[in-house]
Structure 1
Amino acid sequence: MIIDPGASWTVDRDLVASKSRNTPFHGYELPGVITHTFFNGTPTLMNGTIVESSGAR
């Protein structure tokens, strides 16, 4: 995981990647932004964009 600690973001229930849209943090501005994530060395989030899987799950 790569984090930009100097950035911030505002929680929007419509943009959260979750099946549930309930969040007590909707509208809150939070510090730090996750910019990249990896699973078994494969990128899953790059510059805040979800990377589509090219393999079977």
Structure 2
Amino acid sequence: MSMDHFELVSNYQPTGDQPQAIDKLVNGINSGMKEQILLGVTGSGKTFTMANVIARTNRPTLV
């Protein structure tokens, strides 16, 4: 089975600090950074943030 891209389907849009975090993580990935850390309290939307990063970078990902 081959997937051409990851499509994030959600009724929600990134809010609060999420858009900035997504931009910074995507820029880091695209500039070749091997390691980055996303810190957030329980319920802050880390998984949703990373799903957006995966969708924008369209790279193979193991979750």
TM range, normalised to the smaller chain?
under 0.3
Structure-1-length-normalised TM-score: 0.25
Larger Rg: 1
Higher helix residue share: 2
Between 1 and 2, higher relative CO (CA 8 Å, sep ≥ 6) is seen in: 2
Bigger share in strand: 1
